[in-house]
Amino acid sequence: MRILKFGGTSVGSPENIQKVIAVVTQRAQKENVAVVVSAIGGITNKLLLAGQLAAKKDDTYRAVFEEIKDTHLTYTKVLTKSEETLTQVQRLMSDLEALLQGIFLINELSPKTIDKLTSFGERTSSVMITSAFAARDILAQHKDSRQLIITDATHTKATVYTKQTHQAIQAYFKDSKAAITILPGFIARSETGETTTLGRGGSDFTAAILAAALHADALEIWTDVSGMYSANPTLVKQAQPIAQISYHEAMELSHFGAKVLYPPTIAPVMQKNIPLYIKNTFDPEAEGTCISNQVNGRNNPIKGISHINDIALLTLEGTGMIGISGTSKRLFETLSVQAINVILITQASSEHSICLGIAKEDAQQAKEAIESTFAYEISKHQIDPVIIEKELAIIALVGERMKSHQGISGKMFSTLGKNNVNIRAIAQGASEKNISAVIASKDVAKALNSLHERFFEDQSQQINLFIMGVGNVGGRLLAQIKQQQAYLLENLKLNLRVIGMSNSRTMLFEEEGIDLATWSSALDKGEKADMVRFRESVQNLNIRNSVFVDITANEDVAMTYPHYLRNSIAVVACNKIACASAMQNYSLLKRLSKKYNAPFLFETNVGAGLPIIDTLKNLMASGDRITKIQAVLSGSLNFVFNNFASGDSFHDVVQQAKTEGYTEPDPRIDLSGVDVARKILILAREAGLELELKDVVNTPFLTKKNLESTDVPHFFETLKEDASHFEALVSEASAQGRRLKYVAQLEHNQASVGLQSVTAESPFYHLEGKDNIVLFYTERYPDQPLIIKGAGAGGDVTASGLFSDIIRLRQAP
């Protein structure tokens, strides 16, 4: 025999019930089946609402009742033409109306009355569905579960008397000749004949009781998903169905919030070794999940990640607990008397404190009861008053084979730590079937996705980008990401998504990722740009592996980096202002990056896409020491002086460099030497020196009039006015067979920048176009320097440098 149970969504419409009939009919062709049905989806909640309103003397309960009545009568008329069934449903609705009127009159809703009230959902649905079979000439027999399942008198969650129940079930089905038997789930009766219920989700339990009593070949739970999943698919889009799972693993997952299965369901079938299948009514051919005594000995030792919301953490602590026997006994007896369920327990080895995870709604009651029990110790300051922490959740890794795999807890906690998920408490049983942690509710989605990515997604990693400054360089970066997305996913297991972006006018956020084929038009329609709201949106989205990418030259944006780093959001910047700001701020950013495990990468600060900073870091890390750096670090200035010859207009050459994107929007930053000074300062700091920008000796080649210009247009006018000054510079160098290069130097802990006239023997002489060159003299390279040379300016190479930093964020498996 086979037991089938159909949940509320499976019977949630006449069309769905047709699907149920099809599944049952197909099963019944091979063997007898018992079919347990839930109430129509949403009806139990409406029954409770009607009862609560009636108990409050709120007349609107009548409107809720009419909804319930109309739903059942409509379903009955659609499913069957039987006047007898319609009369039976009407009688049930009349009884329900009378009960609600009684609740209204006596102004009371006791647990016993709640059981009577909520029983109407399953009682009515089972009658309708049995008649629906008959309307299709399929013989099906109805049996009231209250005549078979006997419990104690604990209302709303009764305890089943197994021996008496099994005897009643076996006796009934021994004499029954029906191929299909329809039974209401959830409901039972006490020994005195009162209606009881088995708890919310109890229809699963009803089916499991029947399966165990009848030694069924299998139990099938039919719902609206294709089995149990590796995580909640509504929160984790990459969640995978689990084909095979053990009883113990399923029990752990269901206990920790996997809603697809009511936790008590597993015990009866596990005791009789009956396989339990989770199937999808709306995709009956899908494989689903098989729950049995088999433990999959291959592949991932983690079977699933689950969570429970709305948890409160209670902490009892004090020196009066140390070495005092019976403290735990008194604590748990107190909670037991209050019927408060303890979900998680952790205790310090010093016995100084005990932490308990319980449902949030029980927190205040638990606090008052515990403080009453320990009133004497609290009055003597031997134990502190109970501390309550709310807005918490429990996440749990579940897998029966975790105990044979080292390092799982380390991977779990390091993954959470990297994503700034703070852990308030940890619990792991000796059986090691689950590792549980208490975290803030706001971090649940991020934690689940981070852990799922770490343990289930073939070592792939998702990186979520928030880009500030989508202009020339930003647009090219987006184009490069779009071009390489498929390659990165296939070859590096790296899934790059752009979640947010902003230019100076508008900003745009898409939690599932911005379409990089249409980002420009979408950004044009975005909300008004606001730097503060942009940062707040990044933090509020709270997405794993978040990265803030700064492609501006804005000082205010650079000063926001600490906010991102403190929230474990990585920062990738081509904006040089932060690293060239006060040494105190530079050191703070470095400390925050380490403290919050949030990378701070700024390769493009020096040399655009050239690996200058990375090379310097590697030299330092390997134990080498920098003795001297000589460099041409401004692609824009190199472009200008490579294209400026005697007789040319210096103004026109600078205008060309600006138009082609080789200078900052304000060319004065480049031509004044400030940009190069910042770059050599950054290299000096990365080499271990504590210098400020004012310590860099900057010898300007611009005139006083140029330097004192009020804005960019005025600056260009002064270049025309002082054309003779620039002609003299280039003519003098040309007459000596030399070329003008803007050189940065670091030696003897001193940094300087300025225009130099170099000979043909200089490595700088033949530097063409917008190229940069850096010469590292070190203890290992004392005579022949380590040279890095290449394009040091331009949108594509700068974007490429940013892209490289982003890829560098990929964590090793």
Catalytic positions, please? 679
In three-state secondary structure terms, 488 is helix
Is there a contact between 464 and 547 (Cβ–Cβ < 8 Å)? yes
Q: How far, in Å, CA of 353 to CA of 685, rounded?
A: 46
Token digits for 513?
A: 């990722």
Q: How many residues comprise the chain?
A: 813
**What does the buried/exposed string (b/e) look like for 226-257 if buried means 16 or more CB atoms within 10 Å of the residue's CB?**
bbbbbbbeebbeebbbbebbbbbbbbbbbbbb
Is there a contact between 352 and 321 (Cβ–Cβ < 8 Å)? yes
Q: How far, in Å, CA of 137 to CA of 204, rounded?
A: 28
Burial of 325 (0-12, 13-18, 19+ CB in 10 A): exposed
Q: How far, in Å, CA of 708 to CA of 703, rounded?
A: 9
Is there a contact between 612 and 804 (Cβ–Cβ < 8 Å)? no
Taking Cα atoms as reference points, which of 287, 178, 280 lies closest to residue 222? 280
Is there a contact between 179 and 139 (Cβ–Cβ < 8 Å)? yes
Q: How far, in Å, CA of 61 to CA of 46, rounded?
A: 9
Cα 174 to chain centroid distance, Å, stands at: 52
Token digits for 378?
A: 């609290």
Taking Cα atoms as reference points, which of 490, 465, 694 lies closest to residue 601? 465
Q: How far, in Å, CA of 209 to CA of 224, rounded?
A: 22
Q: How many CA atoms lie within 13 A of 759 on its CB side?
A: 1
Residues 6+ positions from 74 with CB-CB distance below 8 Å: none
Bridge partners (DSSP) listed for residue 571 = 548, 600
Q: How far, in Å, CA of 576 to CA of 605, rounded?
A: 5
Residue type, 811: Q
φ, ψ of residue 775 to 5 degrees: the values are -115, 115
Taking Cα atoms as reference points, which of 359, 550, 538 lies closest to residue 469? 550
Region label for 494, one of left (φ > 0), alpha (ψ between -120 and 50) or beta (otherwise): beta
Pairing of strands 506-509, 527-528: antiparallel
Listing DSSP states for 383-432 in one string gives SPPPEEEEEEEEEEEE-TTGGGSTTHHHHHHHHHHHTT--EEEEEE-TT-
